[in-house]
């Protein structure tokens, strides 16, 4: 974490592979810094992650600190990306407050504005979920959930091109804030669940009842999309009958919310015939046709998802599941050398090594 710390007040995910600031990574880093006993770094990291928020509340997902021209043609603006990522700042702020860290008022206000942007400006009237304008916004870049948009068939090269093309369809407010994308239009239950949970988390420490109510409405919309046969929540929108039904781990994040299916979702994360894995749950159900444990987002184990499901299991009072997930996260972090993600059965490292968010393993021990 010290090697990855930058003077601008944030931690890079990895010095070479990810040399900038990423939004949801930084929210997780803030928790790791707090756990390590550096609350000032935790609050500084949250403040920098939120520092390019616009007046509507939109928070860009990457900040190219010190290199404003980097990819500026691609994003159509200097210094930052022009899409967002899961608003993990709600949970990060709440967790810091619960630990007794003095979180500045301005950070609380920015976190609330960021969640209001998603709840109000991104609300889907047709199903009550939250709109995602680009697959990268979910943080789960190559998840089989998005295969609907990669015709005729998914492959890495084709998907890379499609991700570029999808960006062209984003509709924006005059400030540049991304509002919708008719070319994508996914009603992601995973992303919506994270919005709802982060709203609940923030409201639990600020007492903001309007935010809590808005989050609960999204939670209900997510829960209504449970498919009893598939034992997963199913996306709305264009992929509702196709790849939005893939059994991916991010689709089970609805388990963070109050709802009647949380237990059934969480029990699958430690079941060897479903998402069980010695080093943590794979990103895709073992029996799903898209399961490829060595491939980016298509079956490897991701520490931040395991951490979130551990939070969900504790919330639901499923102590054995929480203990199982905690042990697997720690085992995977150790076996992989703190990798970005790893093979769920062997712990063999995948992606960047070491990756800052894998410090989340410290929180579950
Ligand atoms: C990859 C991941 C994304 C993460 C970023 C930086 O793009 O898919 O979730 O934020 O790396 O770690």
Encode pLDDT of 251-265 as tens digits: 999 999 999 999 999
* CB within 8 Å of 37: residues ≥ 6 apart: none
Report pTM: 0.98
Verify whether ligand 1 is closer than 6 Å to residue 139 (CB atom): yes
Check if the beta carbon of residue 315 is closer than 8 Å to that of residue 300: no
Mean pLDDT of 331-351: 98
Instruction: Find the 56 Cα to ligand 1 centroid distance in Å.
Output: 24
* pLDDT tens digit sequence for 152-180: 999 999 999 999 999 999 999 999 999 99
Instruction: Find the 139 Cα to ligand 1 centroid distance in Å.
Output: 6
Instruction: Find the 350 Cα to ligand 1 centroid distance in Å.
Output: 13
Determine which residue's CA is closest to atom 4 belonging to ligand 1: 139
Instruction: Find the 292 Cα to ligand 1 centroid distance in Å.
Output: 18
CB neighbourhood size of 254 (10 A): 26
* pLDDT tens digit sequence for 303-315: 999 999 999 999 9
**Average model confidence (pLDDT) across the chain:** 98
Check if the beta carbon of residue 283 is closer than 8 Å to that of residue 274: no
pLDDT value at 365 more than 90: no
Mean pLDDT of 329-357: 98
Beta bridge partners of 132: 186
Mean pLDDT of 289-303: 97
Delineate the domains of the chain, giving CATH numbers in brackets: 5-260 (1.50.10.10), 261-365 (no CATH)
Which residue is associated with the tokens 């209001």? 116
Mean pLDDT of 10-33: 98
Instruction: Find the 208 Cα to ligand 1 centroid distance in Å.
Output: 30
Which of 338, 337, 350, 189 lies closest to 256 in space, CA to CA? 189
pLDDT value at 3 more than 90: yes
Share of the chain above pLDDT 70, in %: 100
Cα(60)–Cα(62) distance, rounded to whole angstroms? Answer: 6
Backbone dihedral angles phi then psi of residue 300, each to the nearest 5 degrees: -80, 170
CB neighbourhood size of 315 (10 A): 17
Which of 196, 186, 56 lies closest to 124 in space, CA to CA? 186
Verify whether ligand 1 is closer than 6 Å to residue 24 (CB atom): yes
* CB within 8 Å of 131: residues ≥ 6 apart: 122, 123, 124, 179, 180, 181, 185, 186, 187
pLDDT at res. 351: 98
Spacing of C-alpha 322 from chain mean position: 19
Mean pLDDT of 343-362: 98
* CB within 8 Å of 335: residues ≥ 6 apart: 279, 342, 346, 347, 348
| Nearest atom within ligand 1 for CA of residue 13 | 12
CA distance to 50, 65, 72, 97, per residue, from 20 (Å):
14, 7, 14, 27
Cα(111)–Cα(94) distance, rounded to whole angstroms? Answer: 10
pLDDT at res. 161: 95
pLDDT value at 337 more than 90: yes
């Amino acid at each position: 974490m010290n090697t990855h710390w930058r003077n601008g007040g944030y931690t890079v995910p990895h010095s070479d592979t990810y040399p900038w600031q990423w939004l949801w990574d930084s929210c997780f880093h803030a928790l790791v810094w707090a756990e390590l006993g550096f609350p000032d770094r935790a609050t500084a990291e949250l403040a920098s992650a939120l520092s390019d928020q616009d007046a509507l509340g939109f928070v860009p997902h990457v900040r190219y600190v010190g290199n404003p021209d980097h990819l500026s043609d691609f994003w159509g603006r200097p210094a930052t990306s022009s899409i967002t990522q899961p608003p993990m700042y709600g949970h990060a702020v709440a967790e810091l407050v619960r630990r007794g860290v003095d979180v500045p008022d301005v950070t609380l206000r920015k976190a609330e504005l960021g969640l209001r942007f998603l709840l109000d400006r991104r609300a889907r009237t047709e199903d009550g979920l939250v709109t995602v304008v680009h697959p990268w916004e979910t943080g789960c870049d190559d998840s089989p959930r998005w295969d609907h948009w990669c015709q005729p068939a998914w492959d890495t090269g084709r998907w890379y091109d499609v991700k570029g093309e999808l960006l062209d369809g984003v509709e924006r407010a005059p400030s540049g804030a991304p509002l919708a994308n008719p070319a994508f239009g996914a009603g992601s239950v995973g992303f919506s669940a994270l919005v709802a949970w982060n709203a609940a988390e923030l409201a639990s420490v600020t007492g903001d009842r309007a935010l809590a109510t808005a989050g609960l409405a999204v939670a209900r919309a997510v829960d209504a999309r449970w498919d009893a046969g598939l034992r997963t929540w199913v996306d709305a929108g264009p992929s509702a009958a196709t790849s939005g039904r893939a059994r991916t781990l991010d689709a089970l994040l609805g388990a963070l919310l109050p709802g009647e299916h949380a237990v059934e979702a969480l029990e699958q994360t430690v079941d060897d015939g479903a998402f069980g894995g010695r080093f943590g749950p794979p990103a895709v159900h073992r029996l799903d046709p898209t399961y490829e444990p060595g491939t980016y987002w298509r079956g490897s184990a991701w520490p931040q998802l395991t951490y979130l499901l551990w939070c969900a299991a504790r919330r639901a009072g499923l102590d054995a599941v929480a203990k199982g997930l905690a042990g697997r996260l720690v085992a995977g972090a150790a076996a992989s050398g703190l990798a970005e993600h790893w093979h769920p059965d062997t712990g063999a490292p995948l992606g960047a090594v070491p990756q800052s968010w894998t410090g989340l393993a410290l929180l579950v021990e």
